Structure 1
Amino acid sequence: MSHLDDIFEIQISNDKMRATMLQHQKIGENTELVLEELQNWVKEHGVIFGIYVENLKKIVDDNGSITSPIVIAEGKSPINGNNAYLDAVQLDMNNGINEKVVRVDLKNVADIPSVKQGQVVGKKIEATIGQPGLNVIGEEISAKSGKDFILRPGKNTSVSEDKLKLIAQVDGQRCIETKTIHVYPVYQVHGDLDMKTGNIEFIGNVTIRGNVPAGFEVKAKGDIRVQGTVEAATLISEGSIFVAAGIVGQGKGIVKAKKDIHTSFINQGNVEAEGNVFVNQSILHSKCIVNGSIDCTKGKGNIVGGQLSAGHEISANEIGNNMHTTTELFIGVHQQVLESITTHQKQLKLASEELEKLNKLLLVFELKEQQGKALQPKERIMKLRVKNTINQTEEKKAIAEEELLELNEELIQSQTGVVKVKRHMYPNVNLTFGKYRRKITVNHQYVKVSIIDSEIQIIPL
C-alpha cells in the first residue's frame, strides 16, 4: 500500500469516462511529491487512458495541494458511423454537373434543368464504420456503424455496375426520393390553365408557367411546378409541389404531395404532404396535414387560425394573433403513418408466406432432378417461373422490411415532437401532443414547446 493512499483518492465516474482526484490530508513537510511516482500510483488504481499529465504535474508543482477535485483523466467517446444516403447530383442550366446539394428557388420554379439519357443523376454515399472509444480504465467502447441501404432503380433510371450511381434512361426531369430518383418526361403549359388546356393528368412532371384557377385538376406522377397562384383547385403529385405565388384555397380544393410542398403562402387552403411543408410568408385559416415538419420562418412567418398537424415539428415566427384567433396545432404521429406501418406489416407477412410456398415448390423440382429424373418441358418452364417469382417476392420483402424499419424509427422520433416560436405565441393557441393537450392563455416569446416528464412544457428557445 502506497503512502499516497492516505493523502489522495481517485474517483471514477459511473460511465468510467472521467477520473477525478481528491485530497484528504496534506503532504508532510519533509515529503517531496515526484511526478513519476504519482503517475505510477494513478495507473495502479486502474486509470491508464486519457491521463492529463499537465494536471498531475500541477499537483506536483503545488506539492500535492488540491483545493478542489481535479480531473486527471478523461476517456475518448466512440464516434458512430454515418448512414448511407443518396446524394442528388446538382445540375446546371446547361445540363452540366455540379457536385452540390440540390436547393429549391421558388423564383425559378419553372426553370428546372433537364437531364439527358445516360447522365448520372444521383450517387449513393456509402455508410461509414464507427470509431470505437476508450474509457479511463482502458476498456474499449464499441461504436455503431452507419446503416446501409440498397440503391434501387427508379422510373426511367438504372443502377450502375458498382451499385453506387443512378443513370437516366430517358431525357426528362428528375423527381428525387430518399433512396431513389425517377426521371419523368415533362408536360408544360405556357400560361394559365384554362378551358383550352383543361384538366391535366400526366405520367411525368408538370410545369405551369401561369395560374391554376378554381375548379381545375392537375395530377402528376412526378413533380408539379406552378409559377403563378393556385386557387381552389386540386393538385395531386407523387413527387413534390412547388407554387411560386401562393395557394388561395377558399376552403376548397386540395394540394397534396407524396413528398414536400414549397410555396410563398397558404390562405384558406387544404394541404397534405407525406414529407414537409415550407412556407415563405404566412399560413392563414388553413388545414395542413404533414407527416414531417411545417416550416414558416421566412418573411413574416406567421400562422393564424386553422388546423395544422405535423409528425415532427412546427416552426414559425408567430403563432396566433392579437385578436386571439383560435389556432389548432397537432404534433406527433399522424394516422397515415400508423396506417402505413399496418400496410407494410401485412405486405411483409404475405411475402414471407408466399416465399415459404414457393421454396417448397422449387424443392420438389430440385429433388426430382437430384434423383436423376428429367423434368418435363412444362416442369422446366414452371421451375424458371418459380425462381423468378422468388426473386421478385424477396425484393418485395426487403422493401417492406426497410420501410417498416424507417417507419418504426419515425414512430420513436415522433415522441420528441416540438413547436418552435421565434417571436410570439398568442393566447387561444391550442396544442395537442397525442393524448396531451394544452391551451395557451398568455403571450409567450421565443419559446419551444414539447413533452417533458409526461406533460406539455414551454421553455425558452
Structure 2
Amino acid sequence: MEGIGEKRLEVSISKDELKAEITIRASQSPMDVTVTEQEVRQALEQSGITYGIIEQAIEQLCQSPQKYVNQPLLIAVGLPPVPGTDAKIEYPYEKKETDEHKPKELDDGRVDYYSLNTIANISKGQLIAQKIPATAGEAGMSVKGIKIPAKAGKEVTIKAGKNVVFNQDRTLLYAAIDGQVSFTDKDKVNVFPIYEVNGDVDFSVGNIDFIGNVIIRGSVPTGFRIKASGDIRVLGNVEGAELEAGGSIEIKSGIVAQEKGFVKAGRDVRTSFIQNGNVTAGNEIFVSQSIMFSNVRAGKNIFCNGAKGIIIGGTLQAGEQIVARVIGNSSSTPTVLEVGVKPELREELVQLKRQIQVAYENMRKTEQGLNVLSQILAANGELSPDKKALQVKLANTRLVLEKELKTHEARKKELEIELEGETPAKIEASTIMYPGIKLVFGNLVRFIKQEISRARFMVIQGEITTVTIV
C-alpha cells in the first residue's frame, strides 16, 4: 500500500495467491483523482507482486482512475498448478465394447443379458494387466513469483493373485498358464484353469471343489455343493444347492432354492431371477427379472431393473443402493430393504452384541464363584488345595473376559458410529413402490403406507426423503 496525498493504492491478494486486485482509496472527489504508471508499479512492488501483471489493467487504471475509486480492478493473475493424473490399470485382454458385445435383443422383444461370456479366455504369456503410471502434474506460479507445487496423481498397484507373473518393475502382468481371468477378493487378478461339466450336476459328478473356474452347462439340483477359487458359471438353473466362488457367479436361468442352500460370491452375482434364495455378493448383484421372498446381500449394489424388475418379500441389504422397477405388490407383502452400510457390518454388529451378552453372563458367574470362595476364606481362614486351584482358574477367567469385553465394546462403538453416519445411499423404484415396504438407511427407518410412483429415497438432512424420478 502506498500513501499519495489524499489517495492511496490498496492491493489485495487472494488466499491462494493466484489473483491480485488494486483499489483506489481517495478522500477527494473521484473526478479529481489521478494515478501514474510509476505509482501503480510501486504499489505492486511494495506488495511483492512480480508475476502475471496485466499491463492493460495498469493502462486502464491510469487513463480512467475515477472508475476504480473504491472499485477493485484485477491487476495480476498467477498460473494455477495442473494436478497430475491418477495412475490406472488397464486390462488389454478385454475386447473393446462394440455392438456385437452388447446384450442381444430376442425376437419377442426381451433382452438376453446372458449372451455375453464375461469370463475371458487367455493364453500363457498373454498380457492381462498394465499399469498406466500417475503423473506429477505441472507446478504453477503465484503473483508473488513463488512456485506453487502441483498435486501428484494417486498411485495404484496391480494386485496379483494366482498363476500370474510381473515384469521387473511390476507394471505389466502376464498369464502364467492357459485359462480364464478371474477377479477375486480385493481386486486380485488371477488366471485359473477350467473345470467343465457338460450337463447337469448329478451323482456321477458329485460335489465340486476346484482351484479355478467352474462351468456347468446344465443345472445344479438341491443338495449339491460347488466351490471354486475363481468364477462359477451355470447355464441352467440352481435349486437348493450351495455355490461359493472367490470371484463371480453367473446363473443364466435363475435360482429356485426353496429356502435351501446358498449362493455366495466374492465379487458379483448375475442371474435372471431369485426365488426363496439366500444370495450374497461382495460387490454387486444383477437380476434381470425378479427377486421373490429371498435374503439378498451385496457389499455395494443390488440391481433388479430389467424388463420386469420386480422385488417382492424377503430382506435385501446393500452397502450403497437397491434399484428396481417395481418393489412390493398390491397385497402389501412385507419386504425389507436396507442400504447405507455394508451388510457385513450390520451382521457383525448383531453377532458382536450376542458375544458381549454371553461374555457379561460368564463374567457374572465368574464373579459369583470368586465371591463364594472369598466368603469361605473369610470364615475358615484358608482354602483347601482344590478350592485354591479353582480360585486361580476363576481369576484368570476374569482377566480373559475383561480383555475380551474391552475389545468387543470398542469394536461395537466403531460399528455404531459407522451405522449412524449419513451415506450417499439410495433406494429406487422407477415404476412403483407398494405399501408394506420397510426402508432402512443406517439407523433410520421408514415404513411405506401408500403407493408411490417413480420414487427415489435418500437421506437428506437426517431424514429419509422421497424424490420423484423425472
Q: Same fold (TM over 0.5)?
A: yes
Q: Which residue of 2 aligns with 1:87?
A: 90
Q: Superposed, which structure 2 residues align to 1:3-402 within 5 Å? A: 28-29=30-31, 72=74, 80-91=83-94, 106-108=113-115, 112-131=119-138, 143-151=150-158, 153-177=160-184, 179-334=187-342, 336=344
SS of residue paired to 2:344: helix
- Deviation of 1:311 after TM superposition, in Å, equals 1.7
**1:269-306: per-residue Cα shift (whole Å, max 9, x none)?**
21101122122333332211112222333433343332
Letter in structure 2 aligned against 1:303: I
Q: Which residue of 2 aligns with 1:398?
A: none
CA distance in 2, matches of 1:413, 1:437: 12
- Contact 2:420–2:442 (CA under 8 A) maintained in structure 1: no
Letter in structure 1 aligned against 2:199: G
Letter in structure 2 aligned against 1:160: N
SS of residue paired to 2:338: strand
CA distance in 2, matches of 1:183, 1:31: 79
Q: In terms of mean alpha carbon deviation, does 229-238 or 411-420 score higher? A: 411-420
- Deviation of 1:29 after TM superposition, in Å, equals 4.9
1:429 is the counterpart of 2:432: no
Task: Assess, with a 3 A threshold, how the Cα gap between structure 1 residues 232 and 130 changes in structure 2: closer, same or farther.
Answer: farther
- Contact 1:305–1:328 (CA under 8 A) maintained in structure 2: yes
Task: Assess, with a 3 A threshold, how the Cα gap between structure 1 residues 285 and 209 changes in structure 2: closer, same or farther.
Answer: same
SS of residue paired to 1:90: coil
Task: Return the TM-score normalized by structure 1.
Answer: 0.65
CA distance in 1, matches of 2:6, 2:200: 86
Task: Give the greater-gyration-radius structure (CA).
Answer: 2
Q: In terms of mean alpha carbon deviation, does 129-138 or 233-242 score higher? A: 129-138
CA distance in 2, matches of 1:5, 1:413: 61
- Contact 1:329–1:430 (CA under 8 A) maintained in structure 2: yes
CA distance in 2, matches of 1:74, 1:446: 49
Q: Report % sequence identity.
A: 35
Letter in structure 2 aligned against 1:148: E
Alpha-carbon RMSD across the aligned residues, in angstroms, is 4.6
CA distance in 2, matches of 1:413, 1:46: 49
SS of residue paired to 1:231: coil
- Deviation of 1:50 after TM superposition, in Å, equals 7.7
Q: Superposed, which structure 2 residues align to 1:411-450 within 5 Å? A: 415-421=422-428, 423=430, 424-444=432-452, 448-450=456-458
Number of matched residues?
A: 386
SS of residue paired to 1:236: strand
CA distance in 1, matches of 2:333, 2:21: 56
Task: Return the TM-score normalized by structure 2.
Answer: 0.64
- Deviation of 1:412 after TM superposition, in Å, equals 11
Structure 1: 5+ residue runs without aligned partners?
A: 93-97, 341-407
Task: Assess, with a 3 A threshold, how the Cα gap between structure 1 residues 39 and 416 changes in structure 2: closer, same or farther.
Answer: farther
Letter in structure 2 aligned against 1:306: G
